[in-house]
Protein backbone atom coordinates (compact mmCIF):
# COMPACT_ATOMS: atom_id res chain seq x y z
CA UNK A 1 0.00 0.00 0.00
CA UNK A 2 1.26 3.48 -0.82
CA UNK A 3 2.34 5.59 2.15
CA UNK A 4 0.21 8.35 0.66
CA UNK A 5 -2.97 6.30 0.90
CA UNK A 6 -5.87 7.31 3.10
CA UNK A 7 -7.47 4.28 4.78
CA UNK A 8 -11.11 4.96 5.47
CA UNK A 9 -14.47 3.30 5.30
CA UNK A 10 -16.22 6.63 5.88
CA UNK A 11 -16.32 7.84 2.27
CA UNK A 12 -19.39 6.46 0.57
CA UNK A 13 -20.06 9.33 -1.83
CA UNK A 14 -17.86 11.48 -4.04
CA UNK A 15 -18.73 14.88 -5.52
CA UNK A 16 -17.18 15.79 -8.89
CA UNK A 17 -16.65 19.43 -9.88
CA UNK A 18 -15.54 20.59 -13.34
CA UNK A 19 -13.61 23.68 -14.39
CA UNK A 20 -13.90 26.86 -16.43
CA UNK A 21 -16.86 26.83 -18.85
CA UNK A 22 -17.23 23.05 -18.49
CA UNK A 23 -20.13 20.91 -17.22
CA UNK A 24 -20.67 17.37 -16.01
CA UNK A 25 -21.08 16.00 -19.55
CA UNK A 26 -17.42 16.85 -20.16
CA UNK A 27 -16.40 14.07 -17.76
CA UNK A 28 -17.40 11.63 -20.51
CA UNK A 29 -17.38 8.08 -19.12
CA UNK A 30 -14.83 8.91 -16.42
CA UNK A 31 -17.34 9.10 -13.57
CA UNK A 32 -19.04 5.87 -14.63
CA UNK A 33 -15.61 4.22 -14.61
CA UNK A 34 -14.94 5.49 -11.07
CA UNK A 35 -18.22 3.93 -9.98
CA UNK A 36 -17.55 0.63 -11.71
CA UNK A 37 -13.82 0.26 -11.05
CA UNK A 38 -13.54 1.89 -7.62
CA UNK A 39 -16.98 1.16 -6.19
CA UNK A 40 -17.66 4.84 -5.50
CA UNK A 41 -21.06 6.52 -5.47
CA UNK A 42 -20.42 9.56 -7.65
CA UNK A 43 -22.35 12.81 -8.00
CA UNK A 44 -21.38 15.35 -10.67
CA UNK A 45 -22.63 18.83 -9.78
CA UNK A 46 -22.57 21.63 -12.33
CA UNK A 47 -21.36 25.07 -11.31
CA UNK A 48 -23.82 27.97 -11.55
CA UNK A 49 -24.08 29.24 -15.12
CA UNK A 50 -23.15 25.98 -16.81
CA UNK A 51 -24.64 22.60 -17.66
CA UNK A 52 -27.93 22.07 -15.83
CA UNK A 53 -27.50 25.60 -14.43
CA UNK A 54 -26.72 27.31 -17.75
CA UNK A 55 -29.68 29.70 -17.57
CA UNK A 56 -28.44 31.21 -14.30
CA UNK A 57 -25.70 33.85 -13.89
CA UNK A 58 -22.32 32.66 -12.69
CA UNK A 59 -21.29 34.30 -9.38
CA UNK A 60 -18.33 36.68 -9.36
CA UNK A 61 -16.49 35.00 -6.49
CA UNK A 62 -15.35 31.44 -5.84
CA UNK A 63 -16.96 31.59 -2.39
CA UNK A 64 -20.38 32.31 -3.93
CA UNK A 65 -19.91 29.48 -6.45
CA UNK A 66 -19.07 27.16 -3.56
CA UNK A 67 -22.10 28.27 -1.53
CA UNK A 68 -24.34 27.67 -4.53
CA UNK A 69 -23.02 24.13 -4.94
CA UNK A 70 -23.53 23.43 -1.25
CA UNK A 71 -27.17 24.47 -1.53
CA UNK A 72 -27.73 21.95 -4.33
CA UNK A 73 -26.17 18.87 -2.76
CA UNK A 74 -28.28 15.75 -3.37
CA UNK A 75 -30.15 14.76 -0.22
CA UNK A 76 -28.95 11.16 -0.55
CA UNK A 77 -25.26 12.03 -0.07
CA UNK A 78 -23.70 10.45 3.01
CA UNK A 79 -21.38 12.67 5.03
CA UNK A 80 -18.47 12.96 5.24
CA UNK A 81 -18.01 12.73 1.48
CA UNK A 82 -15.06 13.10 -0.87
CA UNK A 83 -14.47 15.66 -3.58
CA UNK A 84 -12.76 15.26 -6.96
CA UNK A 85 -12.29 18.69 -8.51
CA UNK A 86 -10.62 19.82 -11.73
CA UNK A 87 -9.11 23.24 -12.50
CA UNK A 88 -11.52 26.00 -11.40
CA UNK A 89 -13.49 23.28 -9.64
CA UNK A 90 -10.38 22.79 -7.51
CA UNK A 91 -10.59 26.43 -6.41
CA UNK A 92 -14.19 25.81 -5.34
CA UNK A 93 -13.03 22.71 -3.45
CA UNK A 94 -10.21 24.61 -1.71
CA UNK A 95 -12.66 27.26 -0.55
CA UNK A 96 -15.01 24.51 0.60
CA UNK A 97 -12.24 22.80 2.56
CA UNK A 98 -11.47 26.11 4.28
CA UNK A 99 -15.13 26.40 5.30
CA UNK A 100 -15.86 22.74 6.00
CA UNK A 101 -17.80 21.77 9.12
CA UNK A 102 -16.73 18.16 8.98
CA UNK A 103 -18.71 17.26 5.87
CA UNK A 104 -15.61 16.55 3.73
CA UNK A 105 -13.43 13.49 4.34
CA UNK A 106 -10.90 13.91 1.51
CA UNK A 107 -10.28 16.02 -1.57
CA UNK A 108 -8.46 15.22 -4.81
CA UNK A 109 -7.55 18.45 -6.61
CA UNK A 110 -6.50 18.18 -10.25
CA UNK A 111 -4.69 20.86 -12.29
CA UNK A 112 -5.83 23.69 -10.03
CA UNK A 113 -4.36 27.06 -9.09
CA UNK A 114 -4.93 30.31 -7.21
CA UNK A 115 -4.01 33.97 -7.68
CA UNK A 116 -1.02 33.65 -5.36
CA UNK A 117 0.51 31.02 -7.68
CA UNK A 118 1.52 33.81 -10.07
CA UNK A 119 -0.15 35.01 -13.27
CA UNK A 120 2.30 33.38 -15.72
CA UNK A 121 1.89 30.04 -13.96
CA UNK A 122 -1.91 30.24 -13.91
CA UNK A 123 -2.13 30.86 -17.65
CA UNK A 124 0.94 30.05 -19.67
CA UNK A 125 1.74 32.67 -22.34
CA UNK A 126 1.65 29.91 -24.98
CA UNK A 127 -2.01 29.28 -24.08
CA UNK A 128 -3.07 32.88 -24.66
CA UNK A 129 -3.89 32.54 -28.41
CA UNK A 130 -6.16 29.55 -27.75
CA UNK A 131 -7.77 31.39 -24.82
CA UNK A 132 -8.55 34.43 -26.98
CA UNK A 133 -9.86 32.23 -29.79
CA UNK A 134 -12.16 30.44 -27.38
CA UNK A 135 -13.48 33.76 -26.03
CA UNK A 136 -13.73 35.78 -29.23
CA UNK A 137 -14.74 33.29 -31.90
CA UNK A 138 -18.38 33.32 -32.96
CA UNK A 139 -18.31 29.67 -34.01
CA UNK A 140 -19.03 26.99 -31.41
CA UNK A 141 -16.81 24.58 -33.31
CA UNK A 142 -13.91 27.04 -33.34
CA UNK A 143 -14.37 27.76 -29.65
CA UNK A 144 -14.49 24.10 -28.66
CA UNK A 145 -11.56 23.21 -30.91
CA UNK A 146 -9.47 25.94 -29.27
CA UNK A 147 -10.40 24.68 -25.80
CA UNK A 148 -9.70 21.07 -26.72
CA UNK A 149 -6.30 21.91 -28.18
CA UNK A 150 -5.44 23.89 -25.05
CA UNK A 151 -6.46 21.33 -22.40
CA UNK A 152 -5.65 18.02 -24.11
CA UNK A 153 -2.35 16.65 -25.37
CA UNK A 154 -3.92 13.41 -26.60
CA UNK A 155 -4.53 14.46 -30.22
CA UNK A 156 -5.63 10.97 -31.24
CA UNK A 157 -9.02 11.41 -29.60
CA UNK A 158 -9.75 15.00 -30.70
CA UNK A 159 -11.62 13.92 -33.83
CA UNK A 160 -14.08 11.99 -31.66
CA UNK A 161 -14.30 14.50 -28.83
CA UNK A 162 -14.82 17.71 -30.82
CA UNK A 163 -18.33 16.90 -32.14
CA UNK A 164 -19.30 15.63 -28.68
CA UNK A 165 -18.22 18.89 -27.06
CA UNK A 166 -20.01 20.93 -29.73
CA UNK A 167 -23.19 18.94 -29.04
CA UNK A 168 -22.85 19.65 -25.32
CA UNK A 169 -22.64 23.39 -26.03
CA UNK A 170 -25.64 23.26 -28.35
CA UNK A 171 -27.79 21.47 -25.77
CA UNK A 172 -26.86 23.70 -22.81
CA UNK A 173 -25.22 26.87 -24.17
CA UNK A 174 -22.51 28.47 -22.07
CA UNK A 175 -22.71 32.21 -22.57
CA UNK A 176 -19.59 34.30 -22.98
CA UNK A 177 -20.87 36.50 -20.16
CA UNK A 178 -20.82 33.58 -17.75
CA UNK A 179 -17.38 32.51 -18.94
CA UNK A 180 -16.07 36.02 -18.25
CA UNK A 181 -17.77 36.03 -14.84
CA UNK A 182 -16.06 32.74 -14.01
CA UNK A 183 -12.73 34.18 -15.14
CA UNK A 184 -13.25 37.15 -12.83
CA UNK A 185 -14.03 34.83 -9.91
CA UNK A 186 -10.94 32.74 -10.63
CA UNK A 187 -8.68 35.78 -10.98
CA UNK A 188 -9.74 37.01 -7.52
CA UNK A 189 -9.30 33.71 -5.73
CA UNK A 190 -6.47 33.55 -3.20
CA UNK A 191 -5.67 30.19 -1.66
CA UNK A 192 -6.96 29.95 1.94
CA UNK A 193 -4.63 30.18 4.95
CA UNK A 194 -2.78 26.97 5.77
CA UNK A 195 -4.48 26.43 9.11
CA UNK A 196 -7.89 26.40 7.44
CA UNK A 197 -7.14 23.12 5.67
CA UNK A 198 -5.41 21.12 8.37
CA UNK A 199 -8.46 19.02 9.27
CA UNK A 200 -8.99 17.34 5.89
CA UNK A 201 -6.68 15.09 3.89
CA UNK A 202 -6.06 16.36 0.39
CA UNK A 203 -4.06 15.41 -2.69
CA UNK A 204 -2.86 17.46 -5.64
CA UNK A 205 -2.50 15.92 -9.09
CA UNK A 206 -1.09 17.69 -12.13
CA UNK A 207 0.93 17.12 -15.29
CA UNK A 208 4.38 18.40 -16.11
CA UNK A 209 3.18 18.77 -19.72
CA UNK A 210 0.09 20.89 -18.94
CA UNK A 211 0.16 23.58 -21.66
CA UNK A 212 -2.51 25.75 -20.01
CA UNK A 213 -1.68 25.93 -16.29
CA UNK A 214 1.82 25.23 -15.03
CA UNK A 215 2.22 22.25 -12.70
CA UNK A 216 4.15 24.70 -10.51
CA UNK A 217 0.75 25.88 -9.24
CA UNK A 218 -0.02 22.44 -7.83
CA UNK A 219 3.52 22.21 -6.47
CA UNK A 220 3.07 25.54 -4.68
CA UNK A 221 -0.29 24.57 -3.19
CA UNK A 222 0.84 21.07 -2.18
CA UNK A 223 3.83 22.56 -0.37
CA UNK A 224 1.66 25.20 1.32
CA UNK A 225 -0.83 22.67 2.69
CA UNK A 226 1.60 19.77 3.17
CA UNK A 227 -0.47 17.63 0.83
CA UNK A 228 1.01 14.92 -1.39
CA UNK A 229 1.61 15.83 -5.04
CA UNK A 230 1.39 13.34 -7.91
CA UNK A 231 2.65 14.40 -11.35
CA UNK A 232 1.92 12.92 -14.78
CA UNK A 233 4.71 13.19 -17.31
CA UNK A 234 2.96 14.01 -20.60
CA UNK A 235 -0.82 14.49 -20.24
CA UNK A 236 -2.54 17.83 -20.71
CA UNK A 237 -4.52 20.00 -18.33
CA UNK A 238 -7.60 17.76 -18.58
CA UNK A 239 -6.15 14.59 -17.08
CA UNK A 240 -9.47 12.66 -17.01
CA UNK A 241 -9.56 13.01 -20.80
CA UNK A 242 -5.90 12.43 -21.58
CA UNK A 243 -5.14 9.48 -19.29
CA UNK A 244 -8.16 8.16 -17.44
CA UNK A 245 -6.49 4.78 -16.82
CA UNK A 246 -3.56 6.40 -15.01
CA UNK A 247 -5.80 8.73 -13.01
CA UNK A 248 -8.13 5.98 -11.81
CA UNK A 249 -5.06 3.99 -10.84
CA UNK A 250 -3.87 6.93 -8.75
CA UNK A 251 -7.30 7.23 -7.12
CA UNK A 252 -7.16 3.55 -6.25
CA UNK A 253 -3.78 3.98 -4.54
CA UNK A 254 -4.75 7.15 -2.68
CA UNK A 255 -8.15 6.19 -1.34
CA UNK A 256 -8.14 2.73 0.22
CA UNK A 257 -11.37 1.49 1.74
CA UNK A 258 -10.75 -0.51 4.90
Is 166 part of a structural domain of the chain? yes
Residue 1 lies in a domain: no
Q: Is residue 75 part of a domain?
A: yes
Looking at residue 101, its pLDDT comes to: 87
What is the reported pLDDT for 7? Answer: 53
Please report the DSSP string for 27-87 in residue order.
GTTHHHHHHHHH--EEEE-PPTTSGGGTTSPPPSSHHHHHHHHHHT--TTPPSSEEEEEET
Nearest partner of 62 among 187, 203, 212, 225, judged by Cα: 187
CATH code of 74's domain? 3.40.50.1820
> What percentage of the chain has pLDDT greater than the value 70?
95
Does the pLDDT at position 123 exceed 70? yes
For residue 211, report the phi and psi dihedrals to the nearest 5 degrees: -95, 0
Nearest-5° Cα angle at 250, 15 to 83: 15
Tally the domains of the chain. 1
Domain residue limits at 202:
6-256
Between residues 136 and 151, the one the model is more confident about: 151
187 within domain boundaries: yes
Q: Which residue has the higher pLDDT, 122 or 129?
A: 122
As beta bridge partners, residue 256 has: 7
Instruction: Evaluate the omega torsion of the peptide bond into residue 80 and state whether it is cis, within 30 degrees of 0.
Output: yes
What residue spans of 99-157 are helical by DSSP H? 119-122, 128-136, 140-151
Which residues touch 40 (CB under 8 Å, ≥6 apart)? Answer: 11, 13, 14, 34, 82
pTM attached to this predicted model: 0.94
How does pLDDT run across 223-240, given as a tens digit for each residue?
Answer: 999 999 999 999 999 999
Report how far apart, in Å, the C-alpha atoms of 251 and of each of 7, 29, 217, 232 are.
12, 16, 20, 13
Residue 168 in domain: yes
Decide if 11 contacts 106 (C-beta within 8 A): yes
Percent pLDDT > 90 in the chain is 86
Label residue 60 exposed, middle or buried (CB < 10 Å: 0-12, 13-18, 19+). Answer: middle
Is position 138 within any domain? yes
CA distance 149 to 127: 9
pLDDT confidence band for 134 (50 / 70 / 90): confident
Task: Tell me the longest C-alpha to C-alpha distance in the chain.
Answer: 51
Within 13 Å, how many C-alpha atoms sit on residue 120's CB side?
A: 1
Per-residue pLDDT at 104 exceeds 50: yes
φ and ψ at residue 176, rounded to 5 degrees: -65, -30
**pLDDT digit string (tens) for 163-222?**
999 999 999 999 999 999 999 999 999 999 999 987 889 999 999 999 999 999 999 999
Average pLDDT, the chain: 93
> Is-contact 104 83, C-beta < 8 A?
yes
Q: Is the pLDDT reported for residue 86 higher than 60? A: yes
Amino acid sequence: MSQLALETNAIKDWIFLRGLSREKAHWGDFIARCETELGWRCHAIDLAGFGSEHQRPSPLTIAEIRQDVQQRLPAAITKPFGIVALSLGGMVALDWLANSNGDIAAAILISTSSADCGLLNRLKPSALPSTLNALLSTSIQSQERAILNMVSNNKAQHTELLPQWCHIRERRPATKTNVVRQLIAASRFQSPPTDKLNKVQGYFISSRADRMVSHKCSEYLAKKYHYPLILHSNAGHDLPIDDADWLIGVFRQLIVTA
